[in-house]
Chain A
Protein backbone atom coordinates (compact mmCIF):
# COMPACT_ATOMS: atom_id res chain seq x y z
CA UNK A 1 0.00 0.00 0.00
CA UNK A 2 1.46 3.43 -0.93
CA UNK A 3 2.30 5.67 2.04
CA UNK A 4 0.36 8.72 0.94
CA UNK A 5 -2.83 7.65 -0.78
CA UNK A 6 -4.06 11.25 -0.83
CA UNK A 7 -1.58 12.00 -3.64
CA UNK A 8 -3.43 9.67 -6.01
CA UNK A 9 -5.60 10.83 -8.90
CA UNK A 10 -9.25 9.76 -9.10
CA UNK A 11 -8.43 7.06 -11.62
CA UNK A 12 -5.63 5.66 -9.44
CA UNK A 13 -7.90 5.61 -6.38
CA UNK A 14 -10.81 3.89 -8.13
CA UNK A 15 -8.63 1.23 -9.74
CA UNK A 16 -6.55 0.73 -6.55
CA UNK A 17 -9.69 0.08 -4.52
CA UNK A 18 -11.30 -2.14 -7.15
CA UNK A 19 -8.08 -4.17 -7.51
CA UNK A 20 -7.84 -4.40 -3.72
CA UNK A 21 -4.38 -2.79 -3.65
CA UNK A 22 -5.78 -0.85 -0.71
CA UNK A 23 -9.21 -0.54 0.85
CA UNK A 24 -11.61 2.40 0.67
CA UNK A 25 -11.39 2.60 4.47
CA UNK A 26 -7.58 2.88 4.41
CA UNK A 27 -7.79 5.56 1.73
CA UNK A 28 -10.52 7.59 3.39
CA UNK A 29 -8.82 7.50 6.81
CA UNK A 30 -5.70 9.02 5.20
CA UNK A 31 -7.85 11.68 3.53
CA UNK A 32 -9.56 12.55 6.83
CA UNK A 33 -6.18 12.75 8.59
CA UNK A 34 -4.91 15.01 5.83
CA UNK A 35 -7.91 17.32 6.20
CA UNK A 36 -7.38 17.44 9.96
CA UNK A 37 -3.72 18.32 9.47
CA UNK A 38 -3.83 20.96 6.73
CA UNK A 39 -7.29 22.54 6.76
CA UNK A 40 -6.51 24.63 9.82
CA UNK A 41 -4.18 26.53 7.48
CA UNK A 42 -6.22 26.43 4.25
CA UNK A 43 -9.85 26.70 5.47
CA UNK A 44 -11.20 24.91 2.39
CA UNK A 45 -13.93 23.01 4.27
CA UNK A 46 -17.01 24.45 5.92
CA UNK A 47 -18.02 20.99 7.19
CA UNK A 48 -16.42 17.54 7.10
CA UNK A 49 -18.71 14.49 7.11
CA UNK A 50 -16.38 12.00 8.79
CA UNK A 51 -19.09 9.55 9.79
CA UNK A 52 -20.78 9.52 6.37
CA UNK A 53 -17.44 9.11 4.59
CA UNK A 54 -16.32 6.18 6.78
CA UNK A 55 -19.72 4.44 6.46
CA UNK A 56 -19.65 4.77 2.67
CA UNK A 57 -16.06 3.45 2.55
CA UNK A 58 -17.06 0.41 4.64
CA UNK A 59 -19.99 -0.30 2.34
CA UNK A 60 -17.79 -0.07 -0.80
CA UNK A 61 -15.19 -2.41 0.74
CA UNK A 62 -17.90 -4.92 1.63
CA UNK A 63 -19.34 -4.89 -1.88
CA UNK A 64 -15.89 -5.42 -3.38
CA UNK A 65 -15.18 -8.29 -0.96
CA UNK A 66 -18.56 -9.81 -1.90
CA UNK A 67 -17.69 -9.57 -5.59
CA UNK A 68 -20.41 -6.99 -6.33
CA UNK A 69 -19.94 -4.41 -9.02
CA UNK A 70 -19.09 -0.86 -7.94
CA UNK A 71 -19.25 2.48 -9.77
CA UNK A 72 -16.72 4.40 -11.83
CA UNK A 73 -15.65 6.63 -8.93
CA UNK A 74 -15.40 3.80 -6.38
CA UNK A 75 -14.10 5.20 -3.13
CA UNK A 76 -12.85 8.48 -4.61
CA UNK A 77 -12.94 11.32 -2.04
CA UNK A 78 -14.95 14.24 -3.38
CA UNK A 79 -15.62 17.64 -1.85
CA UNK A 80 -18.78 19.58 -2.68
CA UNK A 81 -19.11 23.35 -2.94
CA UNK A 82 -21.51 24.40 -0.21
CA UNK A 83 -24.11 25.83 -2.58
CA UNK A 84 -25.03 22.34 -3.85
CA UNK A 85 -27.75 20.59 -1.85
CA UNK A 86 -26.75 17.44 0.03
CA UNK A 87 -29.50 15.49 1.80
CA UNK A 88 -29.18 15.56 5.60
CA UNK A 89 -25.92 17.53 5.37
CA UNK A 90 -26.17 21.25 6.06
CA UNK A 91 -25.80 23.53 3.04
CA UNK A 92 -24.91 27.09 3.94
CA UNK A 93 -23.87 29.02 0.81
CA UNK A 94 -21.40 30.52 3.32
CA UNK A 95 -24.25 32.80 4.41
CA UNK A 96 -25.99 33.60 7.67
CA UNK A 97 -29.26 33.61 5.70
CA UNK A 98 -29.07 29.82 5.27
CA UNK A 99 -28.13 29.02 8.85
CA UNK A 100 -29.87 25.83 9.92
CA UNK A 101 -30.76 24.75 6.39
CA UNK A 102 -30.44 21.00 6.00
CA UNK A 103 -31.64 20.02 2.52
CA UNK A 104 -34.28 17.29 2.44
CA UNK A 105 -33.02 16.15 -0.98
CA UNK A 106 -29.83 15.61 -2.97
CA UNK A 107 -28.97 17.72 -6.01
CA UNK A 108 -29.01 15.63 -9.19
CA UNK A 109 -25.19 15.76 -9.39
CA UNK A 110 -24.97 14.42 -5.83
CA UNK A 111 -27.30 11.53 -6.64
CA UNK A 112 -25.13 10.72 -9.64
CA UNK A 113 -21.88 10.91 -7.66
CA UNK A 114 -23.37 8.60 -5.03
CA UNK A 115 -24.49 6.17 -7.75
CA UNK A 116 -20.90 6.21 -9.02
CA UNK A 117 -19.71 5.30 -5.49
CA UNK A 118 -17.76 8.50 -4.89
CA UNK A 119 -17.32 9.31 -1.19
CA UNK A 120 -18.51 12.79 -0.18
CA UNK A 121 -16.08 13.97 2.48
CA UNK A 122 -17.54 17.40 3.14
CA UNK A 123 -18.80 20.79 2.04
CA UNK A 124 -16.43 23.39 0.67
CA UNK A 125 -15.98 27.09 1.27
CA UNK A 126 -17.13 29.75 -1.20
CA UNK A 127 -17.94 33.42 -1.47
CA UNK A 128 -21.43 33.96 -0.05
CA UNK A 129 -23.95 32.63 -2.60
CA UNK A 130 -20.99 32.21 -5.03
CA UNK A 131 -20.66 35.99 -5.40
CA UNK A 132 -16.98 36.85 -5.49
CA UNK A 133 -13.61 36.04 -7.02
CA UNK A 134 -11.49 35.33 -3.93
CA UNK A 135 -13.60 33.40 -1.35
CA UNK A 136 -13.02 36.33 1.00
CA UNK A 137 -16.77 37.03 1.11
CA UNK A 138 -17.49 33.87 3.10
CA UNK A 139 -19.14 33.93 6.50
CA UNK A 140 -16.65 31.22 7.48
CA UNK A 141 -13.52 33.24 6.69
CA UNK A 142 -11.38 33.20 3.55
CA UNK A 143 -9.91 30.09 1.99
CA UNK A 144 -6.15 30.47 1.70
CA UNK A 145 -4.02 29.59 -1.30
CA UNK A 146 -2.12 26.33 -0.62
CA UNK A 147 0.87 27.71 -2.58
CA UNK A 148 1.15 30.68 -0.22
CA UNK A 149 -1.34 31.01 2.59
CA UNK A 150 -1.09 34.81 2.60
CA UNK A 151 -2.60 34.88 -0.88
CA UNK A 152 -6.18 34.40 -2.09
CA UNK A 153 -7.23 31.01 -3.44
CA UNK A 154 -9.51 32.62 -6.05
CA UNK A 155 -13.26 32.23 -6.10
CA UNK A 156 -15.97 31.78 -5.76
CA UNK A 157 -15.19 28.02 -5.62
CA UNK A 158 -12.02 28.68 -3.60
CA UNK A 159 -12.64 25.71 -1.31
CA UNK A 160 -13.13 23.40 -4.30
CA UNK A 161 -9.77 24.28 -5.88
CA UNK A 162 -7.74 24.70 -2.67
CA UNK A 163 -8.93 21.36 -1.23
CA UNK A 164 -7.78 19.49 -4.36
CA UNK A 165 -4.47 21.40 -4.52
CA UNK A 166 -3.86 20.72 -0.79
CA UNK A 167 -4.60 16.99 -1.34
CA UNK A 168 -7.59 17.08 1.03
CA UNK A 169 -9.76 15.34 -1.57
CA UNK A 170 -9.09 13.87 -5.00
CA UNK A 171 -11.76 15.81 -6.87
CA UNK A 172 -14.44 18.38 -6.15
CA UNK A 173 -17.50 20.08 -7.52
CA UNK A 174 -17.83 23.82 -7.85
CA UNK A 175 -20.14 26.17 -9.70
CA UNK A 176 -19.07 28.60 -12.40
CA UNK A 177 -21.17 31.68 -13.15
CA UNK A 178 -18.45 33.96 -14.54
CA UNK A 179 -15.28 31.96 -13.87
CA UNK A 180 -15.89 30.69 -10.35
CA UNK A 181 -14.36 27.27 -11.06
CA UNK A 182 -11.66 28.36 -13.50
CA UNK A 183 -10.37 31.32 -11.45
CA UNK A 184 -9.53 29.30 -8.30
CA UNK A 185 -8.30 26.39 -10.45
CA UNK A 186 -5.84 28.80 -12.06
CA UNK A 187 -4.80 30.39 -8.75
CA UNK A 188 -4.30 26.97 -7.06
CA UNK A 189 -2.66 25.15 -10.03
CA UNK A 190 -5.33 22.50 -10.56
CA UNK A 191 -7.65 21.66 -13.48
CA UNK A 192 -11.10 23.27 -13.48
CA UNK A 193 -13.91 22.82 -15.98
CA UNK A 194 -17.02 24.84 -16.75
CA UNK A 195 -19.16 22.65 -19.02
CA UNK A 196 -21.47 23.80 -21.80
CA UNK A 197 -24.60 25.47 -20.41
CA UNK A 198 -27.12 22.65 -20.10
CA UNK A 199 -24.57 19.83 -20.09
CA UNK A 200 -24.92 19.22 -16.33
CA UNK A 201 -28.13 19.48 -14.30
CA UNK A 202 -28.44 22.51 -12.02
CA UNK A 203 -31.24 20.92 -10.01
CA UNK A 204 -30.19 21.34 -6.38
CA UNK A 205 -27.66 24.06 -7.10
CA UNK A 206 -28.77 27.10 -5.10
CA UNK A 207 -29.32 29.71 -7.77
CA UNK A 208 -27.32 32.88 -8.15
CA UNK A 209 -27.62 33.63 -11.88
CA UNK A 210 -29.56 30.89 -13.66
CA UNK A 211 -28.81 31.82 -17.25
CA UNK A 212 -25.04 31.85 -16.70
CA UNK A 213 -24.12 29.27 -14.06
CA UNK A 214 -23.11 25.65 -14.46
CA UNK A 215 -21.86 23.06 -12.01
CA UNK A 216 -18.21 22.46 -12.81
CA UNK A 217 -15.53 20.06 -11.70
CA UNK A 218 -12.02 20.29 -10.29
CA UNK A 219 -9.26 17.68 -10.33
CA UNK A 220 -5.51 17.32 -10.27
CA UNK A 221 -5.49 16.23 -13.92
CA UNK A 222 -7.65 16.48 -17.02
CA UNK A 223 -8.33 12.76 -16.57
CA UNK A 224 -9.91 13.49 -13.14
CA UNK A 225 -12.25 16.03 -14.69
CA UNK A 226 -13.21 13.59 -17.46
CA UNK A 227 -14.12 11.00 -14.82
CA UNK A 228 -16.35 13.46 -12.98
CA UNK A 229 -18.07 14.52 -16.18
CA UNK A 230 -18.72 10.89 -17.06
CA UNK A 231 -20.54 10.61 -13.75
CA UNK A 232 -22.54 13.86 -13.70
CA UNK A 233 -23.26 15.00 -17.29
CA UNK A 234 -26.61 14.39 -18.93
CA UNK A 235 -30.19 15.51 -19.18
CA UNK A 236 -32.46 15.80 -16.15
CA UNK A 237 -36.21 16.32 -16.06
CA UNK A 238 -35.70 18.52 -13.00
CA UNK A 239 -33.65 20.97 -15.03
CA UNK A 240 -35.38 21.89 -18.24
CA UNK A 241 -32.31 23.72 -19.53
CA UNK A 242 -30.33 20.46 -19.78
CA UNK A 243 -29.62 19.24 -23.29
CA UNK A 244 -28.86 15.86 -24.77
CA UNK A 245 -25.14 15.41 -24.80
CA UNK A 246 -24.41 12.04 -26.30
CA UNK A 247 -26.92 9.47 -27.52
CA UNK A 248 -26.29 6.54 -25.21
CA UNK A 249 -25.48 6.62 -21.53
CA UNK A 250 -25.08 2.89 -20.93
CA UNK A 251 -24.80 -0.32 -22.89
CA UNK A 252 -28.04 -1.87 -21.81
CA UNK A 253 -30.23 0.94 -20.56
CA UNK A 254 -30.01 3.97 -22.81
CA UNK A 255 -30.47 7.35 -21.19
CA UNK A 256 -30.57 6.04 -17.65
CA UNK A 257 -28.03 6.02 -14.89
CA UNK A 258 -26.36 2.67 -14.40
CA UNK A 259 -23.39 1.42 -12.46
CA UNK A 260 -21.99 -0.24 -15.52
CA UNK A 261 -21.73 2.79 -17.73
CA UNK A 262 -19.62 3.06 -20.84
CA UNK A 263 -17.18 5.96 -20.50
CA UNK A 264 -18.75 8.79 -22.43
CA UNK A 265 -15.76 11.06 -22.63
CA UNK A 266 -12.24 9.81 -23.24
CA UNK A 267 -8.70 11.14 -23.36
CA UNK A 268 -6.65 11.47 -26.50
CA UNK A 269 -3.35 13.08 -25.65
CA UNK A 270 -1.77 13.11 -29.06
CA UNK A 271 -4.11 15.18 -31.17
CA UNK A 272 -2.42 16.68 -34.24
CA UNK A 273 -3.23 19.65 -36.44
CA UNK A 274 -5.47 21.32 -33.91
CA UNK A 275 -6.48 24.80 -35.02
CA UNK A 276 -5.86 27.11 -32.07
CA UNK A 277 -6.84 30.78 -31.86
CA UNK A 278 -5.01 32.86 -29.24
CA UNK A 279 -7.34 35.66 -28.16
CA UNK A 280 -4.96 38.60 -28.40
CA UNK A 281 -7.07 41.10 -26.42
CA UNK A 282 -6.89 38.80 -23.40
CA UNK A 283 -3.19 37.96 -23.68
CA UNK A 284 -2.17 41.57 -24.31
CA UNK A 285 -4.35 42.76 -21.43
CA UNK A 286 -2.74 40.39 -18.94
CA UNK A 287 0.06 41.02 -16.45
CA UNK A 288 3.38 40.45 -18.33
CA UNK A 289 4.27 37.65 -15.87
CA UNK A 290 1.08 35.83 -16.90
CA UNK A 291 1.39 36.40 -20.66
CA UNK A 292 5.02 35.22 -20.57
CA UNK A 293 3.87 31.86 -19.17
CA UNK A 294 1.10 31.63 -21.77
CA UNK A 295 3.47 32.38 -24.67
CA UNK A 296 5.93 29.73 -23.37
CA UNK A 297 3.14 27.13 -23.31
CA UNK A 298 2.02 28.12 -26.80
CA UNK A 299 5.60 27.71 -28.09
CA UNK A 300 5.70 24.17 -26.72
CA UNK A 301 2.31 23.44 -28.25
CA UNK A 302 3.29 24.77 -31.68
CA UNK A 303 6.26 22.40 -31.60
CA UNK A 304 3.86 19.45 -31.61
CA UNK A 305 2.12 19.89 -34.97
CA UNK A 306 -0.59 22.27 -33.81
CA UNK A 307 -1.46 25.46 -35.62
CA UNK A 308 -1.72 28.43 -33.33
CA UNK A 309 -2.42 31.96 -34.50
CA UNK A 310 -3.50 35.27 -33.00
CA UNK A 311 -7.16 36.10 -33.29
CA UNK A 312 -9.30 39.00 -32.22
CA UNK A 313 -12.65 39.23 -30.44
CA UNK A 314 -14.05 42.72 -30.81
CA UNK A 315 -17.19 42.24 -28.71
CA UNK A 316 -15.04 41.45 -25.67
CA UNK A 317 -15.09 45.17 -24.81
CA UNK A 318 -18.74 44.71 -23.69
CA UNK A 319 -18.29 41.35 -21.97
CA UNK A 320 -17.69 42.42 -18.38
CA UNK A 321 -20.42 45.08 -18.27
CA UNK A 322 -22.85 42.69 -19.95
CA UNK A 323 -21.96 39.84 -17.59
CA UNK A 324 -22.26 41.83 -14.37
CA UNK A 325 -25.49 43.53 -15.45
CA UNK A 326 -27.17 40.18 -16.20
CA UNK A 327 -25.66 38.35 -13.21
CA UNK A 328 -26.67 41.05 -10.74
CA UNK A 329 -30.18 41.36 -12.20
CA UNK A 330 -30.69 37.61 -11.81
CA UNK A 331 -29.07 37.64 -8.34
CA UNK A 332 -31.45 40.31 -7.08
CA UNK A 333 -34.41 38.18 -8.21
CA UNK A 334 -33.00 34.91 -6.85
CA UNK A 335 -32.08 36.32 -3.45
CA UNK A 336 -35.54 37.89 -3.02
CA UNK A 337 -36.78 34.51 -1.74
CA UNK A 338 -34.75 34.54 1.49
CA UNK A 339 -37.05 35.67 4.28
CA UNK A 340 -35.55 33.86 7.32
CA UNK A 341 -38.93 32.26 8.03
CA UNK A 342 -38.60 28.60 7.01
CA UNK A 343 -34.90 28.42 7.86
CA UNK A 344 -32.21 30.91 8.78
CA UNK A 345 -30.77 32.31 11.98
CA UNK A 346 -32.73 32.66 15.19
CA UNK A 347 -34.84 35.82 14.96
CA UNK A 348 -38.47 35.53 15.96
CA UNK A 349 -40.99 37.26 13.64
CA UNK A 350 -43.40 37.73 16.59
CA UNK A 351 -44.59 41.33 16.87
CA UNK A 352 -43.05 42.50 13.59
CA UNK A 353 -44.87 43.89 10.57
CA UNK A 354 -44.10 41.94 7.38
CA UNK A 355 -41.89 44.41 5.50
CA UNK A 356 -40.04 45.65 8.59
CA UNK A 357 -39.14 42.10 9.61
CA UNK A 358 -37.83 41.19 6.17
CA UNK A 359 -35.78 44.39 5.83
CA UNK A 360 -34.27 43.75 9.28
CA UNK A 361 -33.35 40.10 8.79
CA UNK A 362 -32.25 40.47 5.17
CA UNK A 363 -29.62 42.97 6.24
CA UNK A 364 -27.73 39.87 7.40
CA UNK A 365 -26.69 39.17 3.84
CA UNK A 366 -22.98 39.91 3.54
CA UNK A 367 -21.38 42.98 1.99
CA UNK A 368 -21.02 41.68 -1.57
CA UNK A 369 -24.42 39.96 -1.76
CA UNK A 370 -26.14 43.18 -0.66
CA UNK A 371 -24.15 45.22 -3.19
CA UNK A 372 -25.26 42.89 -5.99
CA UNK A 373 -28.90 42.87 -4.87
CA UNK A 374 -28.95 46.70 -4.95
CA UNK A 375 -27.23 46.98 -8.34
CA UNK A 376 -29.51 44.25 -9.73
CA UNK A 377 -32.57 46.17 -8.56
CA UNK A 378 -31.14 49.33 -10.14
CA UNK A 379 -30.52 47.85 -13.62
CA UNK A 380 -33.96 46.22 -13.64
CA UNK A 381 -35.85 49.30 -12.48
CA UNK A 382 -38.30 50.88 -14.92
CA UNK A 383 -36.17 53.87 -15.93
CA UNK A 384 -32.97 51.92 -16.53
CA UNK A 385 -34.07 48.56 -17.94
CA UNK A 386 -33.52 49.60 -21.59
CA UNK A 387 -30.26 51.39 -20.80
CA UNK A 388 -28.62 48.48 -18.98
CA UNK A 389 -30.37 45.10 -18.92
CA UNK A 390 -31.69 45.09 -22.47
CA UNK A 391 -28.38 46.36 -23.83
CA UNK A 392 -26.53 43.73 -21.79
CA UNK A 393 -28.63 41.02 -23.46
CA UNK A 394 -27.86 42.53 -26.87
CA UNK A 395 -24.15 42.54 -26.05
CA UNK A 396 -24.50 38.91 -24.97
CA UNK A 397 -25.97 37.99 -28.34
CA UNK A 398 -23.16 39.85 -30.15
CA UNK A 399 -20.60 37.87 -28.13
CA UNK A 400 -22.40 34.59 -28.88
CA UNK A 401 -22.43 35.31 -32.61
CA UNK A 402 -18.78 36.32 -32.67
CA UNK A 403 -17.73 33.20 -30.73
CA UNK A 404 -19.79 31.06 -33.13
CA UNK A 405 -18.00 32.51 -36.15
CA UNK A 406 -14.59 32.05 -34.48
CA UNK A 407 -15.31 28.36 -33.97
CA UNK A 408 -15.84 27.97 -37.71
CA UNK A 409 -12.17 28.87 -38.04
CA UNK A 410 -10.66 27.33 -34.89
CA UNK A 411 -11.16 24.13 -32.89
CA UNK A 412 -10.36 25.93 -29.67
CA UNK A 413 -9.67 29.45 -28.41
CA UNK A 414 -7.01 29.98 -25.76
CA UNK A 415 -6.20 32.81 -23.37
CA UNK A 416 -4.95 33.25 -19.83
CA UNK A 417 -7.55 32.06 -17.30
CA UNK A 418 -6.81 35.05 -15.08
CA UNK A 419 -5.19 38.30 -16.22
CA UNK A 420 -3.15 38.55 -13.01
CA UNK A 421 -1.29 36.33 -10.55
CA UNK A 422 -2.93 35.42 -7.22
CA UNK A 423 -2.76 38.46 -4.93
CA UNK A 424 -2.59 39.00 -1.18
CA UNK A 425 -5.64 38.51 1.02
CA UNK A 426 -7.43 41.82 1.55
CA UNK A 427 -5.66 43.56 -1.34
CA UNK A 428 -8.78 44.23 -3.44
CA UNK A 429 -11.60 43.60 -1.00
CA UNK A 430 -12.51 47.29 -0.65
CA UNK A 431 -12.50 48.02 -4.36
CA UNK A 432 -15.37 46.04 -5.92
CA UNK A 433 -14.91 47.33 -9.48
CA UNK A 434 -11.25 46.28 -9.49
CA UNK A 435 -12.31 42.89 -8.16
CA UNK A 436 -14.92 42.49 -10.92
CA UNK A 437 -12.37 43.43 -13.59
CA UNK A 438 -10.21 40.36 -12.89
CA UNK A 439 -13.05 38.24 -14.34
CA UNK A 440 -12.60 39.67 -17.84
CA UNK A 441 -11.04 36.50 -19.29
CA UNK A 442 -13.58 34.04 -17.92
CA UNK A 443 -17.01 35.69 -18.35
CA UNK A 444 -17.07 35.24 -22.14
CA UNK A 445 -17.60 31.46 -21.89
CA UNK A 446 -20.57 31.95 -19.54
CA UNK A 447 -22.19 34.61 -21.71
CA UNK A 448 -21.82 32.39 -24.80
CA UNK A 449 -22.69 29.16 -22.94
CA UNK A 450 -19.61 27.36 -24.29
CA UNK A 451 -17.34 24.98 -22.33
CA UNK A 452 -14.02 26.21 -20.95
CA UNK A 453 -11.27 24.61 -18.92
CA UNK A 454 -8.32 25.97 -16.95
CA UNK A 455 -5.15 23.93 -16.79
CA UNK A 456 -1.90 24.75 -14.98
CA UNK A 457 0.84 26.00 -17.32
CA UNK A 458 3.49 27.35 -15.02
CA UNK A 459 4.51 29.52 -12.11
CA UNK A 460 5.72 33.09 -11.75
CA UNK A 461 7.26 34.18 -8.43
CA UNK A 462 6.14 30.78 -7.07
CA UNK A 463 2.51 31.63 -7.87
CA UNK A 464 0.47 29.52 -10.33
CA UNK A 465 -0.62 30.56 -13.84
CA UNK A 466 -3.50 28.87 -15.65
CA UNK A 467 -4.27 28.57 -19.34
CA UNK A 468 -7.89 28.75 -20.41
CA UNK A 469 -9.14 26.71 -23.36
CA UNK A 470 -12.61 27.30 -24.80
CA UNK A 471 -14.39 25.05 -27.30
CA UNK A 472 -17.67 25.25 -29.17
CA UNK A 473 -20.98 24.34 -27.52
CA UNK A 474 -21.16 20.62 -26.56
CA UNK A 475 -17.57 20.09 -27.75
CA UNK A 476 -16.31 18.94 -24.35
CA UNK A 477 -14.44 16.06 -25.99
CA UNK A 478 -12.43 18.49 -28.14
CA UNK A 479 -11.70 20.49 -25.00
CA UNK A 480 -10.45 17.39 -23.16
CA UNK A 481 -8.31 16.30 -26.11
CA UNK A 482 -6.59 19.67 -26.41
CA UNK A 483 -6.29 20.13 -22.63
CA UNK A 484 -4.71 16.72 -22.13
CA UNK A 485 -2.34 17.34 -25.05
CA UNK A 486 -1.29 20.63 -23.42
CA UNK A 487 -1.04 18.89 -20.06
CA UNK A 488 1.28 16.22 -21.45
CA UNK A 489 3.50 18.77 -23.23
CA UNK A 490 3.72 21.33 -20.42
CA UNK A 491 4.00 18.68 -17.65
CA UNK A 492 4.26 20.93 -14.60
CA UNK A 493 2.27 19.03 -11.99
CA UNK A 494 3.54 19.32 -8.46
CA UNK A 495 2.04 19.77 -5.03
CA UNK A 496 2.45 22.65 -2.59
CA UNK A 497 4.21 22.16 0.72
CA UNK A 498 1.80 23.02 3.50
Chain B
Protein backbone atom coordinates (compact mmCIF):
# COMPACT_ATOMS: atom_id res chain seq x y z
CA UNK B 1 0.00 0.00 0.00
CA UNK B 2 1.48 3.37 -1.02
CA UNK B 3 1.06 5.95 1.73
CA UNK B 4 0.52 9.70 1.57
CA UNK B 5 3.98 10.14 3.11
CA UNK B 6 5.57 8.15 0.29
CA UNK B 7 3.76 10.31 -2.29
CA UNK B 8 4.88 13.44 -0.44
CA UNK B 9 8.48 12.17 -0.49
CA UNK B 10 8.30 11.28 -4.20
CA UNK B 11 6.82 14.72 -4.82
CA UNK B 12 9.76 16.32 -3.04
CA UNK B 13 12.28 14.22 -5.00
CA UNK B 14 10.52 15.42 -8.17
CA UNK B 15 10.29 19.00 -6.86
CA UNK B 16 6.50 19.03 -6.84
CA UNK B 17 4.80 20.81 -3.94
CA UNK B 18 1.61 18.74 -3.71
CA UNK B 19 -1.49 19.91 -1.87
CA UNK B 20 -3.26 17.73 0.71
CA UNK B 21 -6.07 16.88 -1.68
CA UNK B 22 -3.54 15.90 -4.35
CA UNK B 23 -1.74 13.68 -1.85
CA UNK B 24 -4.99 11.89 -0.98
CA UNK B 25 -6.01 11.44 -4.60
CA UNK B 26 -2.60 10.38 -5.92
CA UNK B 27 -2.01 7.93 -3.04
CA UNK B 28 -5.08 5.86 -3.91
CA UNK B 29 -4.75 6.17 -7.71
CA UNK B 30 -1.03 5.42 -7.79
CA UNK B 31 -1.43 2.48 -5.42
CA UNK B 32 -3.91 0.93 -7.87
CA UNK B 33 -1.61 1.59 -10.85
CA UNK B 34 1.47 0.15 -9.14
CA UNK B 35 -0.51 -2.96 -8.17
CA UNK B 36 -1.29 -3.37 -11.87
CA UNK B 37 2.45 -3.06 -12.65
CA UNK B 38 3.12 -5.88 -10.15
CA UNK B 39 2.37 -8.40 -12.91
CA UNK B 40 5.88 -7.57 -14.23
CA UNK B 41 7.25 -9.18 -11.06
CA UNK B 42 6.16 -12.59 -12.35
CA UNK B 43 8.89 -12.35 -15.04
CA UNK B 44 12.09 -14.14 -14.06
CA UNK B 45 15.19 -11.97 -13.62
CA UNK B 46 17.25 -14.70 -15.24
CA UNK B 47 16.34 -15.69 -18.81
CA UNK B 48 15.80 -12.94 -21.36
CA UNK B 49 18.01 -9.86 -21.45
CA UNK B 50 16.48 -6.40 -20.94
CA UNK B 51 15.97 -4.32 -24.10
CA UNK B 52 18.70 -1.77 -24.77
CA UNK B 53 20.06 0.45 -27.52
CA UNK B 54 22.29 -1.27 -30.06
CA UNK B 55 23.94 1.89 -31.41
CA UNK B 56 27.72 1.87 -31.18
CA UNK B 57 29.63 4.92 -29.97
CA UNK B 58 31.64 4.84 -33.24
CA UNK B 59 28.38 5.40 -35.14
CA UNK B 60 27.62 8.65 -33.36
CA UNK B 61 28.36 11.96 -35.08
CA UNK B 62 31.49 13.92 -34.19
CA UNK B 63 30.99 16.25 -31.26
CA UNK B 64 31.64 19.45 -33.21
CA UNK B 65 30.57 22.91 -32.12
CA UNK B 66 27.82 24.53 -34.19
CA UNK B 67 27.21 28.24 -33.71
CA UNK B 68 23.55 28.87 -32.92
CA UNK B 69 22.11 31.84 -34.78
CA UNK B 70 19.94 34.15 -32.71
CA UNK B 71 19.40 34.40 -28.98
CA UNK B 72 17.93 31.25 -27.44
CA UNK B 73 17.08 33.16 -24.26
CA UNK B 74 15.39 36.06 -26.06
CA UNK B 75 12.06 35.53 -24.30
CA UNK B 76 13.37 34.97 -20.76
CA UNK B 77 11.58 37.25 -18.33
CA UNK B 78 14.23 37.31 -15.62
CA UNK B 79 17.36 38.72 -17.25
CA UNK B 80 20.02 41.06 -15.96
CA UNK B 81 23.32 42.10 -17.55
CA UNK B 82 23.19 39.28 -20.08
CA UNK B 83 22.50 36.63 -17.42
CA UNK B 84 19.31 34.83 -16.44
CA UNK B 85 18.28 35.37 -12.83
CA UNK B 86 17.32 32.32 -10.79
CA UNK B 87 16.42 31.70 -7.13
CA UNK B 88 19.19 31.85 -4.52
CA UNK B 89 21.12 28.66 -3.85
CA UNK B 90 20.87 28.73 -0.04
Contacts and interface: CB of A to CB of B under 8 A. Distances in A.
B22 interface: yes
A267 B42 CA distance: 44
A383 to B, nearest CB: 11
B40 A392 contact: yes
B50 A390 contact: yes
B31 to A, nearest CB: 10
A360 B84 contact: no
Interface residues of B, number: 55
Interface string B1-30: 010001100111111111100100010011
A373 to B, nearest CB: 5
Contacts of B30: 371, 374-375, 378
Interface stretch (A136-144, A292-300, A335-343): A335-343
Contact of A343 (B10, B41, B60, B76): B76
Interface residues of A, number: 65
Contact of B15 (A317, A355, A381, A436): A355
B17 A363 contact: yes
Interface stretch (A70-78, A97-105, A119-127, A410-418): A97-105
Given A354-B87, A354-B88, A374-B7, A318 B49 contact: no
16 contacts: A240-B61, A341-B78, A352-B87, A362-B16, A374-B11, A375-B30, A378-B6, A378-B34, A381-B10, A387-B41, A393-B50, A396-B50, A397-B48, A400-B51, A432-B29, A433-B29
Interface of B: 2, 6-7, 10-19, 22, 26, 29-30, 32-34, 36-37, 39-41, 43, 45, 47-53, 55, 59-61, 68, 70-78, 84-90
Given A371-B26, A374-B26, A375-B33, 19 more contacts: A101-B75, A321-B36, A324-B37, A341-B84, A342-B73, A346-B77, A354-B86, A359-B16, A365-B16, A370-B16, A370-B26, A371-B29, A377-B14, A394-B48, A397-B49, A397-B51, A433-B32, A433-B33, A433-B36
